[in-house]
Chains A and B, each alone.
Chain A
Amino acid sequence: EPEVTQTPSHQVTQMGQEVILRCVPISNHLYFYWYRQILGQKVEFLVSFYNNEISEKSEIFDDQFSVERPDGSNFTLKIRSTKLEDSAMYFCASSEVHLAGVPGGQYFGPGTRLTVT
């Protein structure tokens, strides 16, 4: 069964450093998402991406964050200057497109645990 993959599984970085989290969505999916989950807390939406542009973003997704689909398979999340409070599990997800362009169920990857020291 096709699945979303994410690399690395764990990333440790120093405060102020740039970090790029990588995701390979399910191949026939056209909607892509990033969510994060701070340890012990609820899952929070960051951004959704469709047709090579951001379709929705949350207040968390400020100028320090950016997303890119650099080629036909990868979807990346960049954090320009990491802060301690960026430490979290970052989940990538993808969904297929239903009739009228509405996204279907969101399938999540295993996550990348980001630790900012």
Chain B
Amino acid sequence: AQKVTQAQTEISVVEKEDVTLDCVYETRDTTYYLFWYKQPPSGELVFLIRRNSFDEQNEISGRYSWNFQKSTSSFNFTITASQVVDSAVYFCAPSNNAGNMLTFGGGTRLMVKP
């Protein structure tokens, strides 16, 4: 079974600051997938990214970037030039090797102040 730790329960930044959300996971699977989701105050879960465990290339999508380090079992998420609309709870979620079961972390609540 997967286990995931998001050690930062709450982060507060001022708009335009960069912020990194940490995620460390444990798994016995050799192949797995890693996901990040955003849950704004409205409550829905918004899919941000899915990565394969065998692809360690970092990824950038606009102001979002992800750093995957298989050697340290970490999949960290950075928001550059944060905006108030980024305020939400962010969940890291590794999957099993079949990719059909996500284990969610406890989430990091990000508050971006104007």
Interface bits B70-111 vs A (CB < 8 Å: 1, else 0): 000000000000000000000101001011111111110000
B43 within 8 A of A: yes
A residues near B98, Cβ cutoff 8 Å = 55-56, 102-103
Interface bits B36-58 vs A (CB < 8 Å: 1, else 0): 01000001111101100000000
The answer on a CB contact under 8 Å between A111 and B35 is no
Q: Least Cβ distance of A7 to chain B in Å?
A: 15
Tell me what chain B mostly uses at the interface: helix, strand, loop, or mixed.
Answer: loop
How many angstroms from the CA of A105 to the CA of B44 in the assembled complex?
Answer: 15
Tell me what chain A mostly uses at the interface: helix, strand, loop, or mixed.
Answer: strand
The answer on a CB contact under 8 Å between A43 and B45 is yes
The answer on a CB contact under 8 Å between B100 and A91 is no
The answer on a CB contact under 8 Å between B47 and A58 is no
How many angstroms from the CA of A48 to the CA of B99 in the assembled complex?
Answer: 10
B residues near A33, Cβ cutoff 8 Å = 100
- Interface extent on B, as a size class? 20 to 34
The interface size of chain A toward B, counting residues with CB under 8 Å, comes to 25
Closest 9 CB pairs of A and B: A108-B45, A43-B104, A48-B100, A105-B50, A56-B101, A103-B99, A42-B104, A110-B44, A105-B47
Residues on B close to A: CB < 8 A? Answer: 35, 37, 43-47, 49-50, 91, 93, 96, 98-107
Q: Least Cβ distance of B23 to chain A in Å?
A: 13
Interface bits A73-108 vs B (CB < 8 Å: 1, else 0): 000000000000000010101000000001111111
A50 within 8 A of B: yes
How many angstroms from the CA of A106 to the CA of B101 in the assembled complex?
Answer: 10
How many angstroms from the CA of A102 to the CA of B50 in the assembled complex?
Answer: 12
The answer on a CB contact under 8 Å between B45 and A58 is no
A45 within 8 A of B: yes
Q: Least Cβ distance of A61 to chain B in Å?
A: 11
How many angstroms from the CA of A105 to the CA of B104 in the assembled complex?
Answer: 14
